[in-house]
Amino acid sequence: MVFNWFRRKFGGSGEEPSPPAETPTEAPATASTESTTESTASPGILNWAKAALQSIQARQQSESATTIETPEETQETPTAEPVPVAISEESEKTAVVESAPVQPVVEAEPVGSSLVLDEGFLWSAEVLAAQGRRPEEVDIEEITWLQRLRQGLGKTRRGLVHQLRAIVGQGPLSRDAVEEIEMLLLQSDVGVKATDQIIAALQTKIRQETLPADQAIAYLKEILRDILDRPFQAGYRRDFAPKKGVLNIWLIAGVNGVGKTTTIGKLAHIATQSGYRCLIAAADTFRAAATEQVKIWGQRSNVEVIANPGKNTDPAAVVFDAIGAAQARGTELLLVDTAGRLQNKANLMEELKKIRRIIDKKAGNAQIESLLVLDATLGQNGLRQAQVFAEAAQLTGVILTKLDGTAKGGVALAVVQELGLPIRFIGAGEGIKDLRPFSSFEFVEALLSSEVEVAA
Ligand SMILES: Nc1nc2c(ncn2[C@@H]2O[C@H](COP(=O)(O)OP(=O)(O)OP(=O)(O)O)[C@@H](O)[C@H]2O)c(=O)[nH]1
């Protein structure tokens, strides 16, 4: 059984978590602000984690038993022949449909590392339980991803949590304490505007009452979640799964090197794993290697790539062809890769606008999303680029990549504060499974939770 990331329900602030778990554990039923602030795993969490581990192991065993019994069904490699499609007049001499070759990359689950009831597993269990999840419904992919996210933000978290605790634990916030927190947030790339908001909210609360460090951190988490979820109050929908049975087009934009192509590959993987018919348009015709690169990613998920092998061909024509192909085949998700660099910025923006016009014209009924990919390691610099794109591409969301690197994580707050756009996915690694839908609750926990220890 394959885990469906698009159907995954998040708990956390502002969203009702699932009903309390009816398990023999004492797992917390809701995402309360106090739920994940302890540094020692409670017996409830330990039981919850054990139950989740057993359930994952049992499923893996029964799946491997099925594989052994019916090898032809489960291990057969699907083959795909190139399929001709309707193409536009402009490009009919050169356009071809690149069909995904046959061998999808099969990534083995890192069973050995993840199936241990270690600190990382316990922390993931705590985060999932706090969202009202039941241990028997948790998938190994969720545990692995949460561990990865937490690892990626580890450096920032260790610096932040330790110092914040020391400051907020000293009673009402003094002027010095406020300045210290401000510095910490700015150093973590939170940006001036979001930092001001956080400080103002924190001051109001801590002036009113003296909070122990644990509660002050819990309150800080709540403030951060509120900022990250604010676009939902402004009309953006929380649920970001593509609609089934209709054409969804996701235009992926961003400057070169931020991870657009890689992200498209990872999205194609999530989409096919979640049961969507998916297609990729290779509309970065400026960089010669870009098409080749996106084709390799297409192969990994067995997703076809519509490309035009000519030199400097019109990317809008590729998109036109791809929409035609998608409509002819009943594709549900068309991912459009775009150039990150042209002769100059004005050209790049013009190209994006043109692609957008083609999409609006040829696929007016499609569900269109325009997603900006931002490299989290660029911090505030990435934001300036974003503002330019926001106008040209009518952005509807952001994908934050490279949170596993030197990124400080706080940039997520700056992005939402400055652009008013929701973060839809985050990437924390170069592998096919290293991009997942964004959850403010999980992100903030990964950024600010203390280490969890098994109680003696
Ligand atoms: N560590 C890490 N590396 C990433 C992540 N996402 C992408 N990368 C790497 O970033 C580099 C650039 O990624 P691309 O996908 O080629 O970027 P692009 O935006 O398509 O670049 P252009 O095609 O030049 O516009 C590659 O080496 C990727 O492996 C991530 O989440 N973490």
pLDDT at res. 104: 40
Task: Name which of 389, 413, 312, 354 is nearest 94 in CA terms.
Answer: 312
State which of 151, 173, 208 marks the end of a domain.
Answer: 151
State which of 131, 151, 171 marks the end of a domain.
Answer: 151
**CA 439 / ligand 1 centre spacing (Å):** 22
Q: Do 246 and 252 touch, CB atoms closer than 8 A? A: no
Closest atom, ligand 1, to C-alpha of 405: 1
Structural domain for 174, as ranges: 154-233
Q: Which alpha helices (DSSP H) does 255-329 contain, by range?
A: 260-273, 288-301, 315-329
**CA 98 / ligand 1 centre spacing (Å):** 22
Is 96 a member of any domain? Answer: no
Is 448 a member of any domain? Answer: no
Local structure of residue 70 (DSSP, 8 states):
-
Q: Is the CB of 433 under 6 A from ligand 1?
A: no
Task: Give me 373's structure tokens.
Answer: 């990919």
Do residues 120 and 167 both lie within one domain?
no
Do residues 262 and 143 both lie within one domain?
no
Do residues 139 and 218 both lie within one domain?
no
Do residues 160 and 140 both lie within one domain?
no
Residue 401 marked ligand-binding:
yes
Q: Do 58 and 288 touch, CB atoms closer than 8 A? A: no
**CA 260 / ligand 1 centre spacing (Å):** 6
Which SS3 state, helix, strand or coil, does residue 80 take? coil
Q: Do 450 and 159 touch, CB atoms closer than 8 A? A: no
Instruction: Using alpha carbons only, give the angle 296, 299, 305 rounded to the nearest 5 degrees.
Output: 80
Do residues 192 and 302 both lie within one domain?
no
pLDDT digits (tens, 9 = 90+) for 348-391: 888 899 999 999 999 989 999 999 999 999 888 888 878 888 87
**CA 203 / ligand 1 centre spacing (Å):** 39
Going by alpha carbons, the residue nearest to atom 13 of ligand 1 is 259
Do residues 138 and 253 both lie within one domain?
no
**CA 160 / ligand 1 centre spacing (Å):** 27
Residue 256 marked ligand-binding:
yes
State which of 102, 127, 151 marks the end of a domain.
Answer: 151
% helix, strand, coil for the chain, step of 5: 50, 10, 40
pLDDT at res. 124: 92
Residue 203: pLDDT over 70? yes
Do residues 409 and 287 both lie within one domain?
yes
Q: Which residues contact 115 (CB under 8 A, 6 or more apart)?
A: 53, 56, 57, 140
Closest atom, ligand 1, to C-alpha of 435: 31
Sign of the C-alpha dihedral computed for residues 38, 42, 48 and 54 taken in this order: positive
Question: The domain that contains 377 carries what CATH number?
Answer: 3.40.50.300
Residue 353 marked ligand-binding:
no
pLDDT digits (tens, 9 = 90+) for 288-346: 788 899 999 999 999 999 998 766 688 999 999 999 999 999 999 999 999 887 656 77
Do residues 10 and 63 both lie within one domain?
yes
pLDDT at res. 298: 95
Residue 376 neighbours by CB distance under 10 Å = 28
Task: Name which of 174, 28, 49 is nearest 117 in CA terms.
Answer: 49
Place of tokens 């080749």: 292
Q: Is the CB of 152 under 6 A from ligand 1?
A: no
Do residues 220 and 350 both lie within one domain?
no
Pocket probe mutation, ligand 1, options 411, 430, 438, max atoms within 8 Å of Cβ: 430
Do residues 196 and 322 both lie within one domain?
no
What is the value of ipTM here, to two decimals?
0.97
Do residues 203 and 140 both lie within one domain?
no
Closest atom, ligand 1, to C-alpha of 401: 31
Rg over CA atoms, the chain: 23
Is 81 a member of any domain? Answer: no
**CA 161 / ligand 1 centre spacing (Å):** 29
Place of tokens 């999980």: 442
Question: The domain that contains 182 carries what CATH number?
Answer: 1.20.120.140
CA distances (Å), origin 163, targets 45, 85, 153, 198, 298? 26, 59, 16, 16, 44
Do residues 280 and 307 both lie within one domain?
yes
For 211-247, letters b (16+ CB in 10 Å) and e give: bebbbbbbbbbebbbbbbbbbeeeebeeebbbeeeeb
pLDDT at res. 143: 92
Task: Name which of 152, 31, 124 is nearest 411 in CA terms.
Answer: 152
Q: Is the CB of 385 under 6 A from ligand 1?
A: no
Total-model pTM:
0.83
Picking from 20-34, 166-180, 272-286, 403-417, which range would have the lowest pLDDT averaged per residue? 20-34
Q: Strand pairing of 367-375 and 333-338?
A: unpaired
Domains of the chain: total = 3
pLDDT at res. 309: 73
Q: Is the CB of 266 under 6 A from ligand 1?
A: no
